[in-house]
Structure 1
Amino acid sequence: MALALPVAQWGKAPSTADVLQTVFDSVPQISDTIFKRRLIAEADEVDDGQKALMALQEKIRLHTQAVRNWGYFSEVKQICRELYASLDAKLEAAAGYTFSDILDVSESILTTIEQRGNDHMDALKRVLSARDSKTMVEGYFREFPDLVGTPEGLLDVIPEGTSREGVMGFLMSHADLRHSADMSVTASEIAAMTGKKKDQVERILRMLSIEPGELADHKIEHMFLSNPVWARPGIYLGSGYMFVMPQAIFSHINEIMWNVATSAKIESDLSDRRATYLEDKTESVIRSVLPTSTIKKNAKWVVGAQQFETDIIAVIDKTIFLAEAKSHRLTPQGLRGAPDRLKRHLNEMVVAPSIQSERLARHIVAARAGDADSLRITQSLSLDAGNVDQIIRISLTLDDLSVLSSSEEELAKAGLIPDGHNLAPAMHIADLCCIADILDEEIPFLHYFSERFHFQKHFEIFGDELDFLGVYLSTGFNLGAERKDFYRLMVSGMSGIIDRYYNARDAGIELNKPAPTIHRSYKEIIDKLARTKPGGWTTMGIFILSSASPEEQPKVERGLNRLRQSVTRKKAKPGHDCFMEIVPPLNRKATVGFYVHQAAYANLRREHMKHFAAEALERDDAASCVLFAKNTDNWSSPYEAVLLVQRLEKVVPEIKS
C-alpha cells in the first residue's frame, strides 16, 4: 500500500507507536472485509458442485494470503541450486547475470539483515538489563555509538519521575527508528560480500525491488491475493534497497525466477528443466529411502495403439510404489482462485497424474487375476504381477497445492474426480524430501504412504502434508474404528515438532530428529524383517505397524509376557494356551498373531502356526494374517519364524495412494 504512493508523500516524521498500531489494526480489517465481501457475493449459490468449487477457491485464497513457505530454508536453498544452476549460461547471455547470482545475492541480503537484527536485539538486551534509568541510558549510548548527543542530554528530555519501565519503552521506541537502515543494503555492500561485479548486483537488486509510487494503479483489494511485493519484495530508495522481509524472496523464489526467465525469453527452457529436475529428484529421493528397491524411470507401456508413460516405478518385495512428477506452474490467477484456472491446475497437478498412475495400477491388479492383455503390459515392464500385495501411488509437484490435494470430498463434488477414482495425494517435492528424511527406514516409509491413502479418504482434513506427517509420528495413523462423529480433523500445527527440528538445524542447533512413536518390541520386529527380508517382508511390516496404536503396543508386549508364563508352566501342553491375536478395528487391516513355544517343541512350530493362522482367517473377516513365532528360551529375539497367510479369493492389491 505504501508503494502506491510516491516517496514525496511518505512524509518525513518518524513512525510513532500510535501510528504503527493504527496500521496493525487496520490492515487485518481490510483483509477480513474483502474476505466477507466474497462470502456475501457467493451466499446465494445453491448448487452442490458450485459450492464445492467455491470451498476450494476459498481454501486456495486463504492459503495464498497466509501461507507462503514451501519448504524449510535449507531445503529451499538446495532445491533452488539444483533446479536453476544448469540454466545459468542462458540467463547470463540474456540478462548479464545468472540464476546462481540471484540466489547468492538473495542469501547475502537475508544473512546481512538477519545478522543486523540479531546484533540489534543483543545490544538492546544489554541496555535494558541495567539496574536503573541512568545506567540504562548510558548503556544505550555505549551500545549504539552512532547516536548523536549525550546521555545527559537524553535524560533531560525524559520527564522527571518516569519509571524504569517507562524509560525502557522510550529507548526501545527510539532504537526502532534505525530499523529502516538496518533493513537496507547497497549494491556495493552486497558486491563486496559476494565477490560479484557491482553492476550485476545492481541489476539483480533492481529486479527484486519496486520504487515508491510504482503501484499507484494497483487496486488494494487485489493485493491480498496477487501482491506484486511477493515477487519483488525490495523497495528501491535511490541510494539503496530496503528489504523489510528478506525471507520473502525465498518464499516466492519460483515465481521470481519464472519472471526473470520470461523477461529473458528462456521460459521454455525453464519449463523443460523443471520437468527434468522433478523426475530426477523424485527418483533420487525414493532411491535413497528405498535402497533395496528396483526402480524404473520414464517407463513406457502400450495399450492397443496408445502409449503411456509412468515416471517412477519402484518395486520392493511385494510392494509397488508408483510416482508421477508433474512440474506445471501454479499461476497467479490460480492462486487468486479464478475458477477456470484453478480447475486447470487441479486437473494438471492433482487429478491427471493420479488417473495416470491408477491406470497402470489397475492393469497390475488385472494381470494378477490372469487378464492376458494386462499380463502383456506388466511383462513388458518386467513386473511380476502375481507377486504384488499392494500398490502405493503419489504425485509430486514443484508448486505447493497441498492444501487442496487432500480436499477429496470437495474435488469429487466439484466434478473434478471421475466416479470411482481413488485419488493419489499430490505433494511438493520438498515435503517428500522431509518425509524421506524423517521416515528414513523402508518399512515406516512404506507404511506412511500405505495408510496415507485411507487418512485422506476417510477424513475431511485441514492441514498440509507435514501436519499429516506430525499426526503419523504420534499415532501411526492408527486412529481407531471409523466413526460418523469423528470425521473432520483440524491438524494444522501438528508439524510443530518437525518445524522445530528443521528450523533449529538451519540455525546451527542440533536437536534429535523426530521419529515415529513405535514401541520397542514392535521396532525390533520391523528391524528384523528389514534385515532378513523374508518373502513378503514389506507386507508383514506394514501389517504389524497397522495392528495397534503407539498406546496399544505396550499392551501387546504385556500380553506376550503373560503368554510366555502360561507356556512355560510345568503342566503346559504343546500348542495349549500359546496363541494371541490382534484384530484391528478395521476389516481392511490384517490380523496379526503371536505363537509362543518352548525350544523343545520347535519341531511342531510350523504345523501349529498354519493351524492358528487358518483359524484366524476363518474366525475373522480379514483377508490376511501374519503370525510371528516366539521362543520362550530365546525371548530376546523379536521372533523365531514368521508366516504370512492370505485368502486368495479376497486378496486384491489395494490401489493405494
Structure 2
Amino acid sequence: MNIKIDELGEIHFRRPGMTGREVKAGDIDREALRTASIAEAHAAIEAFPRHLERILEILRACFPPHVLATISSWSMTHKAGPDGVAVDGVIAGLEQHHVELLQAILLRMDRWEWGVERASYQQIGEMMGELKALASAFQRRRALEVDKVSSDPERLAVALIQERLRDQTQMIRNWGSYDEMVRIVRDLHAPLDDGFRSHHGFGATELVDVASGLVNMIQQRLSDRLTLLDGIMRGRTRKAIVHAYFERYDGVDGVPEEFLASLSPKTTLRQLRMMLHEHASTGLMLEFVVDPGDLAARIGISTQVVESVFAAIGLVPGVLRSKEPEHLFLDNPVWKRPAIRDGAEFLLFLPQTIVGFLPGLLRELAAEAGLGRRLERRRARYLEEETARLISVALPTARVLPSVKWSWKGVRYETDVIAAVDKVVVIAEAKSAVLTDAALRGAVNSARKHVKDLLVEPAIQSARLQDILRAAGEGEVEAMAVVASLGLGIDAADIEQTIRLSVTLDDFATLASAQVELKRAGWLPDTLVQPATMTLADLGTCSDILDRPLFFLHYLIGRARIQRVAPVFGDELDYLGTYLNSGLDLVEVAAGTHKGMFNRM
C-alpha cells in the first residue's frame, strides 16, 4: 500500500510555502494497513530475484556506461525557476541511491559480460522501473521484521529505531549544504596533509579538491549539454530543429535534408524532439569520462596527484562479484569509491556521491597511513573550535567561552562552549564520536552506544550546568560560586533564559528527533530533557540563515520545545524551513495533542 505524504489526510491549514495535513486516528484502518504491508513484504521477497535478474539482462544486452550515463544524468537534473530548485529530479522517484545500486550491480559483472548495443529509451525506462522496484522491495522485506515484534512496545521501538537508521543509510546522502560539506571536510583534514602525501601520494585536501573539481566539471558539462539541446529544440518547424541539430550538436553525421526526407509526414514536433533527444543520448557517456590531465589543469594540481586520487577512488569491473546483492543497499562499496576504471578510461557517473562520503573515505585512508589517532584528536578539537566560532557568528555581541572548566560537589567538569548575551546563556556540548558502519546498518549494540555518546551524555552534561545556573539564580551559595567562576560577565540572578545545544560532526539527525522511540526502547532516561541536537554543518546553515541573534535564539528554544512535547519527525533543514514559515508555532503540536512529520520543508 503506497501512501504519498502529499496526499495523506485533509488540509488542516495553508501558509505560504507550507501545507498542514491532519490525519485522525479514525481515518486509518490500522489492521487493513498492516495486512496490506505484510502482503507487500511477502510479494517483495518473491519479486526481488526477478527484478535483479531483469537488471542484469539489460546490462548484458546494452552497453552499461550508456545506461548509467543516461540514468545518472536524469537523476541529477532538477528543474530550477523563480521559486528555487525542484525537490524531485526530472524523473520522479529516481534518486542518487538508485544509480549507486545500479553501478554496484554492474561491478559484480566482469568486463566481458557487458553488452555492446546502445540502450533504447524503452530499455532505459524499464531499467529505471526495475531499479525503483528493487530498492522498494528491499525496504518492504524489512517490514516483516518490524511486524514480528509489533506486540512488544519496547522491541517495536528498537525495531523502528533500526529502520530509521537503515532508511538514512540506504537513501540519505547530504549531511549539510554542499559548500559546507566541502569546507568542513577540507578544514578538518588539512593538518593531516603531510601524512597523507607520504603514504598515499596525495594530501587530504588534494583529495577534496579533486572530488569537488569532478563535481563542478561534470555538472558544467551536463548543464552546457542541456542548454545546447534546449536551444536546438526551441525551433518552431521540423526543418529549423533538424538543421540546428546537425549544425550545432557534436558527432552528428549525414545530411539534414536526407533525414528530413526520411521522416513520416505525420511526425509531430514532439515526436521529432524525442527522436533527436534519444539520438543525442548516444554520446552522453563521454560527459562522464574524465582525463586526469584535464582535471589537473582545471583545479591547479599535478596530473600525478590526480592519477593517485583516481586510483584510490576507482573500482574495476568484477571486483564486487563476491558481494551479495542484498548487502549493496546498506554497505555499498561504490559510496566511498564511486569511479569505474575501465582499462585506461576513468568513468565517474556519481561525482556527487564522493563528496557526501568523503569523511568515511578519508577516515579509511587515514587509518591506512597510521593517522587514525591524530584524526580522532583533530575531530574533537576542530568540532569544539568550529562550534564556538559559529555561535560567535550567530551571536556577534555575545561573550563566547570555549572549553570552560568548573567544579561541582568535588567533581571537575568541562563545558565545550558557553555563550552569554544579554540575559540569555547558551550551553553547547560538541561530540565528535564517529558513527560506525554497523550502527548505520541498524546493529542494536552499536546504535545504542552512539545514542549514549552523542545524545545522552551531552544532554546530561548541559542539563547539569543548567540546573546549577537555575539554583544560582535562586540564591544557592555553592551554585553561585560556580557561576562566578565561569566568567560569564552576567550575574546569576539576571539570567532569564538558558538554552542547551548539542552539536555532532557526523549526521545523527535520524535519531536526534526520535525521543519518543528512544525512551520507549529504554535508550534515553525518562526524566532527561533532550536539547536540540544538530550537525556542525546544520549549525552553520542556521547561523547563516537566521542572521539576527534573536531569530537564532528563538529557533533553538522552539527546536528543543517542539521535539520535547510531541513526536515530530524531520531533519534539521525541515525544522528550519518550518520555523521560517511558522516560527514553529504549531498550536496542536506545541500542546502535545498531535504527532507530526515535517516533510520537504
> Secondary structure at the residue paired with 2:241?
helix
Q: Which residue of the other structure, out of 309, 313, 332, is the alignment partner of 1:227?
A: 332
Q: Distance in 2 between matches of 1:486 and 1:98?
A: 53
Residue 303 (structure 2) pairs with residue 183 (structure 1): no
In structure 2, give the amino acid aligned to 1:422.
V
Which structure is richer in relative contact order (CA contacts within 8 A, separation 6 or more)?
A: 2
Residue 592 (structure 2) pairs with residue 479 (structure 1): no
> Secondary structure at the residue paired with 1:236?
strand
Give 1:417-566 correspondences, 5 Å limit: 417-480=524-587, 486-494=593-601
Give yes or no for contact 1:185–1:241 (8 Å, CA) kept in 2: yes
Q: Hey, what does 1:503 align to over in structure 2?
A: none
Give 1:54-203 correspondences, 5 Å limit: 54-152=159-257, 154-155=259-260, 158=263, 161-203=266-308
Displacement after TM superposition at 1:270 (Å): 1.4
Displacement after TM superposition at 1:47 (Å): 2.3
Displacement after TM superposition at 1:375 (Å): 3.1
TM-score (ref. length: structure 1): 0.72
Displacement after TM superposition at 1:16 (Å): 1.3
Q: Distance in 1 between matches of 2:339 and 2:263?
A: 36
Displacement after TM superposition at 1:84 (Å): 1.8
Give yes or no for contact 2:177–2:541 (8 Å, CA) kept in 1: no
In structure 1, give the amino acid aligned to 2:114.
W
In structure 1, give the amino acid aligned to 2:494.
N
Q: Hey, what does 1:284 align to over in structure 2?
A: 389
In structure 2, give the amino acid aligned to 1:433.
G
Give 1:308-319 correspondences, 5 Å limit: 308-319=413-424
> Secondary structure at the residue paired with 1:301?
strand
Q: Hey, what does 1:386 align to over in structure 2?
A: 493
CA-to-aligned-CA distance 1:1-31 (integer Å, 9 cap, x gap): 1111112111111111121122111122222
> Secondary structure at the residue paired with 2:596?
strand
Q: Which moved more, 1:77-86 or 1:453-462?
A: 77-86
Give yes or no for contact 1:187–1:240 (8 Å, CA) kept in 2: no
Q: Which residue of the other structure, out of 396, 421, 441, is the alignment partner of 1:336?
A: 441
Q: Aligned in 2, Cα 1:318/1:325: closer, same or farther, shift over 3 Å? A: same
Q: Which moved more, 1:473-482 or 1:451-460?
A: 473-482
Q: Hey, what does 2:138 align to over in structure 1?
A: 34
Q: Aligned in 2, Cα 1:6/1:158: closer, same or farther, shift over 3 Å? A: farther
Q: Distance in 2 between matches of 1:200 and 1:9?
A: 32
Q: Distance in 2 between matches of 1:210 and 1:336?
A: 23
CA-to-aligned-CA distance 1:151-176 (integer Å, 9 cap, x gap): 34544665564333222111101111
Displacement after TM superposition at 1:196 (Å): 2.2
Q: Distance in 1 between matches of 2:549 and 2:176?
A: 23
Q: Which residue of the other structure, out of 400, 405, 410, is the alignment partner of 1:295?
A: 400
Q: Hey, what does 2:372 align to over in structure 1?
A: 267
Percent of paired sites with the same residue:
33
Q: Distance in 1 between matches of 2:326 and 2:299?
A: 39
Q: Distance in 2 between matches of 1:482 and 1:276?
A: 37
In structure 2, give the amino acid aligned to 1:344.
K
Q: Distance in 2 between matches of 1:129 and 1:419?
A: 63
Displacement after TM superposition at 1:182 (Å): 0.6
Q: Aligned in 2, Cα 1:138/1:250: closer, same or farther, shift over 3 Å? A: same
Residue 312 (structure 2) pairs with residue 207 (structure 1): yes
In structure 2, give the amino acid aligned to 1:62.
D
Structure with the higher helix share, 1 or 2? 2
* Structure 1 stretches lacking a partner, 5+ long: 495-657
Give 1:601-620 correspondences, 5 Å limit: none
* Structure 2 stretches lacking a partner, 5+ long: 1-104
**Could you say which structure has the larger radius of gyration?**
1
Q: Which moved more, 1:429-438 or 1:365-374?
A: 365-374
Aligned length: 494
Q: Distance in 1 between matches of 2:258 and 2:370?
A: 59
In structure 2, give the amino acid aligned to 1:25.
G
Q: Distance in 1 between matches of 2:247 and 2:178?
A: 35
Give yes or no for contact 2:566–2:589 (8 Å, CA) kept in 1: no
Give yes or no for contact 1:350–1:425 (8 Å, CA) kept in 2: no
CA-to-aligned-CA distance 1:386-442 (integer Å, 9 cap, x gap): 222221001101111112101111111111111311011210111111111121212
